[in-house]
Amino acid sequence: MSCALALVVGELAANAVCHGRVPGRDFGLRLVLDETAGLVRAEVADAAADKRPPLATPVVPPEGEAGRGLPLVYVPAERWGWEPREPVGKTVWAECALGGPGTVREGV
């Protein structure tokens, strides 16, 4: 789980720096442990409300140099998404199972 979480956090942070940067504003990172659900939630907030993650998997040509980042998030994550952030921006989040992908406890 630690490798999957590190990958997810690194990619979300890189996306915030590359695609969510607004001059004079930083991005925020928050990790939340939910032992009951067996999940760690990574949240990365940035100030660019108009630049939202795609809802569907983008088609990237083999020779393409960009567009592979979000699959690095949603493959190891149990779920991911984004939500508006007040007063400005958005928060992109992903939840990783403590035991690795696909090991969330029954009933959760």
In this predicted model, what pLDDT tens digit does every residue of 12-50 receive, in sequence order?
A: 999 898 888 888 888 899 999 999 999 999 999 999 888
SS3 content of the chain, % helix, strand, coil (to 5): 20, 25, 50
- pTM for the predicted model, two decimal places: 0.81
Q: What is the pLDDT of residue 44?
A: 95
- Confidence band of 56 (pLDDT split at 50, 70, 90): low
Find the helix or strand (DSSP H, E) in which 11 lies.
helix 2-19
